[in-house]
């Protein structure tokens, strides 16, 4: 199902090609097919952001904000917040997620958008050290996640749950939640979600002191982020492997990969916090 609850279009149509670029196997596609409808703009933004092309992604979301409303606008604001978090702007992301949630808080037909907003708010809270708030938001998000029936949201819920356990000092709980995401992500047929799941899994293993396993997962995931052009995830793995060491690359190589990814993000319109 698409963000608007309709059957996905064929891949030979613009919406279909954009969906494959955002969630399927054509993640390196650039330039992307032109977006015409509001949902196409959202897909265009998701695909561009996954490549670290933040200027293009934010421009899409700005246009979408002027011409959409309701659940799709809420999803767009949650997407904006996700990009801001990737760049380290958790407090700014909280504003976008709060606005996303306010749009659909009382709409019984908007469980998907509400779940995205609540999971985002939980991620924002843990990013600023409000772990109790994050836990309560995840509990609320779990209800809407089940009601939405959208598989990707179960994966996102497990990601943020694992991250919360990580920063709370519960390494093995983090690993268990990351492994739940690994088990769920196969149903999505989405390489981007699969790679992000391995990023979370490698960090969870690291938090549990299981460094050899963490290196193995992270090294394999790094190859796929480079294959698919997922620059923000390349940077995240570069940071992790620069800290714990790669089994395949030297410290200098890892530093170069990390710094090149950060520079690419800046060149594509991303502004790192701090």
Q: Assign 3-class secondary structure to the chain.
A: CCCCCCCCCCCCCHHHHHHHHHHCCCCCCCCCCCCCCHHHHHHHHHHHHHCCCHHHHHHHHHHHHHHCCHHHHHHHHHHHHHHHHHCCCHHHHHHHHHHHHHHHCCCCCCHHHHHHHHHHHHHHHHHCCCHHHHHHHHHHHHHHHHHHCCHHHHHHHHHHHHHHHHHCCCHHHHHHHHHHHHHHHCCCCCHHHHHHHHHHHHHHHHHCCCHHHHHHHHHHHHHHHHHHCCHHHHHHHHHHHHHHCCCCCCHHHHHHHHHHHHHHHHHCCCCCCC
Could you tell me which of 99, 101, 98, 97 has the C-alpha nearest to residue 110?
101
The overall average pLDDT reported for the chain is: 94
pLDDT given for residue 127 in this prediction: 96
**Structural domain 168-274, CATH architecture:** Alpha Horseshoe (1.25)
Cβ(260)–Cβ(231) below 8 Å: no
The 10s digit of each residue's pLDDT in 160-189 is 999 999 999 999 999 999 999 999 999 998
Q: What is the mean pLDDT of residues 105-128?
A: 97
Give the helix/strand (H/E) hosting 233. helix 231-244
Q: What is the reported pLDDT for 42?
A: 96
User: For the segment 219-238, what is each residue's pLDDT rounded down to a tens digit?
Assistant: 999 999 999 999 999 999 99
pLDDT(38) > 60:
yes
Percent of the chain, pLDDT > 70?
95
Q: pTM (2 decimals)?
A: 0.94
Sort 167 into a burial class: Cβ within 10 Å, 0-12 / 13-18 / 19+.
middle
Domain ranges of the chain: 12-68, 76-149, 168-274
Q: Check whether 4 has a pLDDT greater than 50.
A: no
Confidence (pLDDT) at 12: 54
Q: Which pLDDT value is given to residue 14?
A: 64
């Amino acid at each position: 199902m698409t963000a608007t609850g309709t059957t996905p279009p064929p891949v030979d149509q613009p919406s279909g090609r954009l969906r494959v670029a955002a969630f399927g196997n054509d993640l390196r596609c650039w330039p992307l097919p032109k977006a015409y409808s509001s949902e196409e703009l959202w897909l265009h933004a998701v695909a561009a952001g996954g490549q670290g092309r933040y200027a293009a992604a934010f421009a899409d979301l700005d246009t979408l904000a002027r011409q959409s409303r309701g659940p799709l606008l809420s999803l767009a604001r949650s997407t904006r917040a996700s990009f801001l978090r990737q760049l380290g702007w958790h407090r700014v992301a909280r504003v976008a997620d709060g606005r996303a949630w306010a749009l659909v808080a009382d709409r019984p037909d908007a469980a998907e958008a509400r779940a995205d907003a609540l999971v985002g708010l939980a991620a924002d809270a843990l990013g600023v050290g409000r772990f109790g708030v994050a836990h309560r938001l995840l509990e609320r998000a779990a209800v809407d996640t089940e009601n939405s029936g959208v598989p990707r949201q179960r994966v996102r819920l497990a990601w943020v749950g694992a991250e919360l356990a990580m920063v709370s000092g519960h390494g093995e709980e983090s690993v268990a939640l990351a492994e739940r995401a690994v088990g769920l992500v196969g149903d999505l047929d989405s390489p981007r979600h699969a790679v992000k799941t391995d990023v979370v899994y490698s960090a969870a293993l690291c938090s549990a002191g299981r460094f050899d396993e963490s290196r193995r997962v992270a090294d394999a995931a790094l190859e796929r982020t480079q294959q698919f052009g997922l620059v923000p995830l390349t940077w995240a793995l570069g940071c992790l492997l620069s800290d714990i060491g790669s089994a395949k690359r030297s410290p200098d190589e890892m530093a170069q990969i990390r710094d090149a990814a950060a520079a690419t993000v800046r060149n594509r319109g991303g502004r790192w916090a701090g």
